[in-house]
A and B are shown apart, each in its own frame.
Chain A
Amino acid sequence: MSQGTPLNEAQALDWLRQQEDLGQRYYAAWWLGRMRSSHGDTVPLLIQSLSERGSGLAPTSGIDEPNPVARNAARALGKLADPQAIAPLLEALESSDDGLREAAARSLGQLGAPQARGPILRRLASGPGVAGAPRPGTSRLMEPCEAFLEALGALGWEEEDGSTTDHKPLLATLGAYVNHERPLIRSAAYRSLLQLTQEDCWGDQLVALLHHDELQVRRAALLDLGVTGWRPAAPAIAQTLAENSLKLIALRGLVEHSPLRNQASWSPSPEEVELLAAMDNLL
């Protein structure tokens, strides 16, 4: 069992091509995504790896997830912005492995693949009581709801042909999860509803989670607010009891992802100057 990560792109591709050492394949898939490899062999090799099943890794490897190579390949494909990956990721979305479905959904959201909306909505349709019910014996849910809900927000309203998707089923499905018992699922639902509707009420709900007792929930709400770019959250973000590093990431998101951001302007707007001042205070 090899240790460590590949040294360069050529080695990473060799590691992914060989079949004997699954640890090497696992790290190679991760590396190629992380380094945004643009080599012509990268995407086809990762797509091949998506269908790899089974663990096969030594217990000492420290990797204890099932189908680790396929999951890492799915994660990497989300970072590489190649539309060739969409069809195989849609297939992975139907896998019996919920961790692989989770990775595929996130990557399809990152790739902006509207074809994923339908399958995700179908898997969430049974609602928090079924799709969102705890999976017996684990800390997971029956479906990877958090990733699914977040992907729906990332995909926006647009259909593959450029038309606008029907608002009703999308909002109804997301709305079904806003009262889920787990705050991380609620946070994901608020985040996507805020991205899609720009309605302040969802931002207010995320801000309320910044005061949650559990640090893990406050962290998730910070990152979710950053993704939405909802600027009214800035003072609450600055005051949240969490690491400054995460608050800085959230405030960066408010600057960069807000619909108010004027791409044409060279210098920051007065509102952005205030956000930058809040960031300066956290350094």
Chain B
Amino acid sequence: MPSRSHDVEQVQVQVLIDAVQAAQTADDLTEAVEDLCACAHPMAIPCLIQVLGFNNPGAAVAAVDGLVAIGSPAVPAILSNVDDYNYGARAWSVRALAGIGDLRGLPLLERALAQDIGPSVRRAAARGMGGLQPHGFTVLQRQELAERILPQLKASCQDEEWIVRYATAVGLEGMKRWWQPSAAQQEQLVEALQPLADPHGEPVPVVWLRARLAITRLRASTPAACP
């Protein structure tokens, strides 16, 4: 009886949601959120989104993981609940979208990278651009997407915060996975990474090291055959 087991499942998820709402301490909340995430049920989405705004890093990490596990079904709700007044919460929303990689989240990632006042928001957006999942895209569509994203990540190589530049190196490396560039196209990624890898232009050693790691990895793997 599928409907009956469906009901039972709904009741079980509701119990877990109630436990999140009832949690009294930070640790209890984190545990309750982890339990709720384990079921990866769409019913949990509003509750998990609420947790992003609680200023409880442990619980927020768990809620982001939970939303990423639910994946695409969570995207519309995340997009319609972005908190304009709380950049901590906004960073977690962008992180969840970045982890899911759904293209419906891209306009928000783009706006966040270019304009958000919170460095934690910009860094999540930069990383997210490397984690896009353009399912079903043709070679041409992937190429168009890369042409749209690459200038934005080149611009964020100039961000005043080191962690955003670090995340930009991660994003540029990640672009290879969904772009599947030819050898010549791949050199555009290496070229974009060069300023971050160079101590004359980039003051922060950990950023050089991350950019150099990205360059090494890009060059070590065989690029896709000619598209």
Contacts and interface: CB of A to CB of B under 8 A. Distances in A.
* SS of A interface (majority): helix
Contacts of A243: 57, 88, 120
Given A267-B213, A268-B212, A273-B213, A245 B206 contact: no
Contact of B209 (A244, A248, A276): A276
Interface string A245-282: 10010001001100000000011100011001001100
B57 A276 contact: no
A279 B205 CA distance: 14
B90 interface: no
A99 B159 CA distance: 34
A276 B85 CA distance: 31
Contacts of B166: 248, 279, 283
B209 A245 contact: no
A268 B204 CA distance: 14
Nearest to A283: B127
A159 B143 CA distance: 60
Given A248-B163, A256-B206, A283-B127, A242 B212 contact: no
Nearest to B216: A267
Interface residues of B, number: 26
Contacts, number: 53
B210 A276 contact: yes
Contacts of B26: 241
Interface of B is mostly: helix
Contact of A283 (B123, B206, B213, B216): B123
A272 B216 CA distance: 14
Interface centre among B88, B95, B126, B205 (most CB of A within 10 A): B205
A252 B203 CA distance: 13
Nearest to B214: A276
Contacts of A276: 206, 209-210, 213
A280 to B, nearest CB: 5
Nearest to A245: B120
A206 to B, nearest CB: 19
Contact of B206 (A241, A244, A252, A267): A252
B163 A268 contact: no
Interface in A197-244: 241-244
Interface of B: 26, 30, 57-58, 61, 88, 95, 119-120, 123-124, 126-127, 162-163, 166-167, 170, 204-206, 209-210, 212-213, 216
25 contacts: A241-B57, A241-B58, A242-B57, A243-B57, A243-B88, A244-B57, A244-B61, A245-B120, A252-B206, A255-B209, A256-B205, A266-B212, A267-B212, A267-B213, A268-B212, A268-B213, A272-B209, A276-B210, A279-B166, A279-B206, A279-B210, A283-B123, A283-B127, A283-B166, A283-B170
Interface of A: 241-245, 248, 252, 255-256, 266-268, 272-273, 276, 279-280, 283
Q: Which 3 A-B pairs have the closest CB atoms?
A: A241-B58, A283-B127, A268-B209
